[in-house]
């Protein structure tokens, strides 16, 4: 189904009745990827899952978004579906948005419980080779723009551009590339002590996108949090090990 949110036609799931669970998906993930969670929780809750701008069937924004823009979008969506109180669930980038929102003193949404699944918000640790690659890319770009050297370094720069960044970055449109750049290196750890809600952290033990190290840091920084590690699971623990994930969720909700 779709709903108009400030002129944007937003695809979303609205299933079940009862207290509201608002689930925010990860970067570019289709909302149907969370169907098993929705079907489980909708027996007791009204589960809402909005498709973020520029992903799935929701159109791209007219310009690159910031974390503040994502927070405003979530609040506008809640206003459109008439939600003032919820249990927050967030996966990956969805978790980053939740941390931002709940750290704000004037957040209008009432929330007592939070579930963060392999959430983003801790800056990645980069090896030295990463910075060498970034410097080489910038140097090649500069040389490729010099008329005398364009024929020599132009093809090199084009090849490096095609292989630059993560798979998410390479697959994104120009607007969403800029959006990802706005988000990926944000450090939300200073905001975490301000999030006072009872928070369950669920993490895949083998996650390489937001590694288990990030979950342990969040457990230290979030005052009312506990970390559950899902065995034999990566960045999508609800897909990799549903029985354990489901049991952990039941114990918290």
What would the pLDDT profile of 143-164 be if each residue is shown by its tens digit?
Answer: 456 664 455 545 544 654 555 5
As a whole number of angstroms, the distance between CA 71 and CA 49 comes to 15
Helix (H, G, I), strand (E, B) or coil at 228: strand
Please report the pLDDT score of residue 124 as a whole number: 84
Helix (H, G, I), strand (E, B) or coil at 151: helix
Please report the pLDDT score of residue 153 as a whole number: 47
Please report the pLDDT score of residue 158 as a whole number: 60
Q: Within its chain, how far is the Cα of 102 from the centroid?
A: 15
Dump the DSSP string for 52-118. PTTSTTSPPPSS---HHHHHHHHHHHHHHTT--EEEEEEETHHHHHHHHHHTSTT--SEEEEEEEES
pTM of the complete model: 0.85
As a whole number of angstroms, the distance between CA 191 and CA 207 comes to 23
The parts of the chain modelled with pLDDT lower than 70 are 126-166, 168-169
As a whole number of angstroms, the distance between CA 49 and CA 33 comes to 11
Cβ–Cβ under 8 Å, residues 13 and 47: yes
Of 94, 155, 156, which is closest to residue 119 (Cα–Cα)?
Answer: 94
Cβ–Cβ under 8 Å, residues 21 and 89: yes
Query: Cα separations (Å) of 62 from 53, 175, 181?
Result: 10, 8, 16
Please report the pLDDT score of residue 139 as a whole number: 45
Cα first-last separation, the chain = 26
CATH of domain 2-124+185-252: 3.40.50.1820
Query: Cα separations (Å) of 2 from 61, 87, 90?
Result: 16, 22, 20
C-beta pairs of 162-165 under 8 Å, 24+ apart in sequence: 164/137
Please report the pLDDT score of residue 134 as a whole number: 35
What would the pLDDT profile of 79-95 be if each residue is shown by its tens digit?
Answer: 999 999 999 999 999 99
For the chain, give every domain's residue range. Answer: 2-124+185-252, 128-173
């Amino acid at each position: 189904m779709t709903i108009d949110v400030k002129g944007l036609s937003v695809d979303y799931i609205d299933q079940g009745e009862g207290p509201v669970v608002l689930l925010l998906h990860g970067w570019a993930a289709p909302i149907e990827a969370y169907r098993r969670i929705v079907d489980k929780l909708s027996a007791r809750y009204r589960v809402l899952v909005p498709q973020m701008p520029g992903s799935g069937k929701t159109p791209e924004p007219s310009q690159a978004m910031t974390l503040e823009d994502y927070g405003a979008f979530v609040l506008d969506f809640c206003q459109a579906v008439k939600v003032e109180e919820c249990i927050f669930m967030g996966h990956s980038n969805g978790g980053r948005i939740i941390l931002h929102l709940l750290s704000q003193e004037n957040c209008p949404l009432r929330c007592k419980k939070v579930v963060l699944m392999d959430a983003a918000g801790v800056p990645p640790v980069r090896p030295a080779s990463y910075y060498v690659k970034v410097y080489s890319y910038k140097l090649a770009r500069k040389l490729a723009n010099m008329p005398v050297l364009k024929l020599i370094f132009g093809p090199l720069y084009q090849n490096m551009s095609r292989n630059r960044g993560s798979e998410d970055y390479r697959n994104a449109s120009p607007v969403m590339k800029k959006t990802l750049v706005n988000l990926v290196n944000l450090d939300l750890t200073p905001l975490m002590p301000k999030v006072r809600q009872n928070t369950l952290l669920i993490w895949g033990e083998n996650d390489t996108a937001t590694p288990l190290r990030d979950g342990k840091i969040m457990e230290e920084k979030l005052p009312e949090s506990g970390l559950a590690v899902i065995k034999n699971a990566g960045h999508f623990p609800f897909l990799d090990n549903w029985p354990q994930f489901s049991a952990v969720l039941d114990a918290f909700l």
